[in-house]
Chains A and B, each alone.
Chain A
Amino acid sequence: MRIISIRNIAALMVVTFGIATLFSVFGCKASQKVSGKTGVQLWAENCRRCHNTPSPNTFSHEQWETIGLHMQSRALLTDDERDKIVAFLKQ
């Protein structure tokens, strides 16, 4: 039966092994280079993955807090990225 074919099991094993290897090598935390990034850097790098970078003037402080949660769930940003980007947009 195709649903549990050797190909599917092999693909699952490769993905699982790959993830396990990445975790064991790099750990589940940001490097100093990444954690030292500013809000404006993260805004420029992450927003444009899907759309143009938004102007900070577009929304109020409270609105940016709400947009920040919505965008974190869409782009799957880390919590640190969301906090820094929202702090920059609220300036």
Chain B
Amino acid sequence: MSYTKKLPQALLVLVAIFSFVLNVEAQQKDVDSSVYDRLTELEKQVAQHKPGEEHFLIVGLLTTGFVSNKTTTTSGGTSSSAKTNSFPDVDHFEFSPMFLWRHGQKFLLEFEPSFDGSSLGVNWADVSWFAAPGLIIRGGYLVLPFGTYSKRLAAGWIDKLPTDPAGVADIPGADFGVEIEGGLPLGNMKWNYDVSLTNGMQLLPDGELQNVGSIDNNRNKTLTGRIGFLPFSNSSLEIGLSGLYGTAGDDNTSFKTAKTTMYAVDVNYVQLFNPIAVNFKGQFDDVHVNEQTYVDTANNSYTFNNNSTTYFAQLSLRPSGIANAFKNVELAFRVGNYTTPNGSLWGNKSDYVEGCLSYWLSWRTVFKCGVQSNTTTSTAPVDKGTKTKSNSLFLQFSIQL
């Protein structure tokens, strides 16, 4: 067979192959184009949802409930009783959304407004700079580093009982200023520090203290600090020592030399002794104002040793190591005392015991049923010796949002 005869056939085959390749390429182009369009669309969608360096989050808490109370007052040999009940438990109702803004990994803004049933306040509003390992610098309206209850344990879904320990949660509270803090390793142990410099407190005409707010009442600042020590490698035990020192008197008044000194010791122990989780917490506070002369409502001068003390100790037990519904039950007890200055207009000695049975609906949702017995004896000049005995039943629900 000659090559001239085969040439047309060969050309025909080549044209057929070329046409086939062109057809396949055209189809491929159509497919590529459709995938490309789809990818472009997905990229647009992803670009709208990319996390970026900033992040905003709302958490917070709600605590509400019911309280039934019977109070008996005995004075001069005569007694009187009063019964009340209320929805919600007005002393412990709280709706506090917490706003958290994170800028990268170095800055965090925290703002927690709080509605207590009658007024809207602010628990804290501050900015933290995570400057270096073990060094956080904060400024704004911040919770003072005095003890641990106010800063770590006061939230209703964290507190093992329906009430706050008397006197512990109120003073010194929150204040305007700056703070440095951090947690650091120490071999098998750990330690932490927390120091703040703030406007401080103001001494009132009756000798009580209150936070001064955003405009200082004198030119001195108040130094508050706490050192915590965790001696065990599993962090089960923490012991803390706190102190506060500052001028409390208004400038250019008879209280200008008034200075306040406070100390606190706190203990926290949490350990699982399978199947029972044991949780012990306690705090002791001592508040002192140096000697001042006060004026009563009849314009008479008087003085007293302006020293208050308060403590609480609480133990809770939860069978969290068992595998049925009882693992969600927790039993808690608290005892405490709050003693305000003898001879002041607000002098009292108050002892209380409290018990609570809780059921955890989730790790951050709890229903509590608690009872509290409180005996208060007045040490104020006007009603010295008056005894008030109060028994209360609390039903409380608290959730972290």
Please list the residues of chain A having a beta carbon within 8 angstroms of any beta carbon in chain B: 1-3, 8, 15, 19, 22-23, 25-31, 33-35, 45-46, 48-55, 58-59, 62-63, 65-67, 69-70, 72-81
Name the distance in Å between A48's Cβ and chain B's nearest Cβ. 5
- B271 and chain A: residue at smallest CB distance: A48
- A42 and chain B: residue at smallest CB distance: B235
Q: Does B303 contact A (CB under 8 A)?
A: no
How many residues of chain B are within 8 Å of chain A by beta carbon? 55
Partner of A67, one of B57, B261, B363: B57
Q: Is the CB of B363 within 8 A of A77?
A: no
Alpha-carbon distance between A15 and B225 when the two chains are bound, in angstroms? 13
Q: Is the CB of A76 within 8 A of B194?
A: yes
Q: Is the CB of B188 within 8 A of A31?
A: yes
Alpha-carbon distance between A73 and B238 when the two chains are bound, in angstroms? 16
Contacts A15-B227, A52-B364, A62-B55 hold; do A78 and B190 have CB atoms under 8 A apart? yes
Alpha-carbon distance between A34 and B186 when the two chains are bound, in angstroms? 10
Alpha-carbon distance between A58 and B193 when the two chains are bound, in angstroms? 30
Task: Find chain B residues with CB under 8 A from A81 CB.
Answer: 183
- B107 and chain A: residue at smallest CB distance: A69
Q: Is the CB of B134 within 8 A of A79?
A: yes
Contacts A53-B363, A66-B57, A70-B100 hold; do A33 and B138 have CB atoms under 8 A apart? no
Q: Is the CB of B288 within 8 A of A2?
A: yes
Q: Does B228 contact A (CB under 8 A)?
A: yes
Known: A23-B186, A31-B233, A75-B183. 9 other contacts (CB 8 A): A45-B235, A45-B236, A49-B235, A63-B55, A66-B100, A73-B128, A73-B181, A78-B183, A78-B185
Q: Is the CB of A3 within 8 A of B363?
A: no
Write 12 A-B pairs (CB below 8 A) sorted by A numbering. A3-B245, A22-B186, A34-B187, A48-B270, A49-B235, A59-B57, A62-B55, A66-B55, A70-B110, A73-B136, A76-B228, A78-B183
Contacts A54-B363, A63-B57, A70-B100 hold; do A31 and B187 have CB atoms under 8 A apart? yes
Q: Is the CB of B152 within 8 A of A1?
A: no
Task: Find chain B residues with CB under 8 A from A35 CB.
Answer: 185
Q: Is the CB of B51 within 8 A of A46?
A: no
Q: Is the CB of B185 within 8 A of A29?
A: yes
Task: Find chain B residues with CB under 8 A from A29 CB.
Answer: 185, 187
Q: Is the CB of B157 within 8 A of A51?
A: yes
Q: Is the CB of A2 within 8 A of B290?
A: yes
Task: Find chain B residues with CB under 8 A from A1 CB.
Answer: 290
Alpha-carbon distance between A35 and B190 when the two chains are bound, in angstroms? 12
Q: Is the CB of B57 within 8 A of A15?
A: no
Q: Is the CB of A33 within 8 A of B188?
A: yes
Alpha-carbon distance between A16 and B235 when the two chains are bound, in angstroms? 22
Name the distance in Å between B118's Cβ and chain A's nearest Cβ. 28
Name the distance in Å between B398's Cβ and chain A's nearest Cβ. 11
Task: Find chain A residues with CB under 8 A from B384 CB.
Answer: none
Contacts A45-B235, A52-B360, A63-B57 hold; do A28 and B185 have CB atoms under 8 A apart? yes
Q: Does B153 contact A (CB under 8 A)?
A: yes
- B181 and chain A: residue at smallest CB distance: A76
Q: Is the CB of B105 within 8 A of A22?
A: no
Alpha-carbon distance between A45 and B233 when the two chains are bound, in angstroms? 9
Q: Is the CB of A76 within 8 A of B183?
A: yes
Q: Which of A27, A35, A49, A70 has the most CB of B within 10 A?
A: A49
Q: Is the CB of A2 within 8 A of B261?
A: yes
Name the distance in Å between A8's Cβ and chain B's nearest Cβ. 8
Task: Find chain B residues with CB under 8 A from A58 CB.
Answer: 363-364
Q: Is the CB of B130 within 8 A of A80?
A: no
* A-B CB proximity, top 5 nearest: A26-B187, A30-B185, A76-B192, A76-B183, A52-B363
Task: Find chain A residues with CB under 8 A from B105 CB.
Answer: 65, 69
Task: Find chain B residues with CB under 8 A from A65 CB.
Answer: 55, 102, 105
Alpha-carbon distance between A34 and B194 when the two chains are bound, in angstroms? 23
Alpha-carbon distance between A21 and B145 when the two chains are bound, in angstroms? 24
**CB 8 Å contact bits of B176-200 with A (1 = contact, 0 = none):** 0000011111111111111000000
Q: Is the CB of A3 within 8 A of B152?
A: no
Contacts A63-B57, A81-B183 hold; do A75 and B152 have CB atoms under 8 A apart? yes
**CB 8 Å contact bits of B207-249 with A (1 = contact, 0 = none):** 0000000000000000000011100011110100100010000
Task: Find chain A residues with CB under 8 A from B380 CB.
Answer: none
- A47 and chain B: residue at smallest CB distance: B363
Task: Find chain B residues with CB under 8 A from A49 CB.
Answer: 235, 238, 268, 270
Alpha-carbon distance between A20 and B389 when the two chains are bound, in angstroms? 48
